[in-house]
Amino acid sequence: MGAMSAAATPVPTGITWEEFLELPDDDVYRHAELIDGEVVLNPPVPLNQQVIMRLLGAIDAWTQAGEGRGEVTFDPAVQITANRGYLPDAAWYPPERCAPPGQPPAWSGPPALAVEVSPSTRTLDLFRKQTDYARVGVTEFWLIDPREPAAMIHRKPADGSTTFAPPVDVGPGGVLSSPLLPGFEVALERLVHR
């Protein structure tokens, strides 16, 4: 089935996470999320797609450069509650949450790193998602605004807290890195430069 416009597509309401996962596998629902039983459509704009693809490529190159570096994926389903869940733009899973080598790709539990790229959903991403991701076990959450470019890096403290520490701001000319990905670095400018 070809791509349909979001306006022409009936959007289910009052559904559970399991029903959300059973929605048709088409372009309309590819970037949808479930917020309190309501399907919310968030199609990415071209600049966001460019940043997402470049970031995925950079993290994938890092994972392929050594053994036991886990896997990166786009649009992984992250359940928050029985009627809420998100599809982050990118996510990294440590090896212990990945299917064994030789098996089809699969992930268990939440990703260790979740990334959202979008100024249009910044308020939702900044407040609700960062709280939800921390609560379900995401260790680190990157919120990237490709227009600046800028990023807010939310990390859990080493004390086992279920909330993120105050964010680290990365501005133009800055570099994204993470203690979860030793040796990984990517310049924000590289992600957005045409």
Predicted confidence (pLDDT) at residue 4 exceeds the cutoff of 90? no
Q: Tell me: the pLDDT tens digits for 167-177?
A: 999 998 999 99
Q: What is the bridge-based pairing of β-strands 140-145 and 78-81?
A: unpaired
Q: How far apart are the first and last CA of the chain?
A: 32
Q: Tell me: the pLDDT tens digits for 129-167?
A: 999 999 999 999 999 999 888 999 999 998 888 899 999
Compute the distance between CA of residue 76 and CA of residue 25 in angstroms, rounded to an integer: 14
Helix segments in 129-170, DSSP class H: 130-136
CATH of domain 44-192: 3.90.1570.10
Structure tokens at 37: 């039983």
Predicted confidence (pLDDT) at residue 119 exceeds the cutoff of 80? no
Q: Tell me: the pLDDT tens digits for 75-86?
A: 789 999 999 999
Q: Is 114 exposed, middle or buried (0-12, 13-18, 19+ CB in 10 A)?
A: buried
pLDDT-based confidence at residue 109 (cuts at 50, 70, 90): very high
Q: What is the bridge-based pairing of β-strands 140-145 and 113-117?
A: parallel
State the span(s) of the chain assigned CATH 3.90.1570.10: 44-192
Q: What value does the mean pLDDT take over residues 30-46? A: 86
Which positions ≥6 away from 189 have C-beta within 8 Å?
Answer: 149, 172, 173
Proportion of the chain above pLDDT 70, given as a percent: 91
Nearest alpha-carbon partner for 34 in 93, 79, 70, 100: 79
Q: How many C-beta atoms lie closer than 10 Å to residue 97's C-beta?
A: 17
Amino acid at 66: G
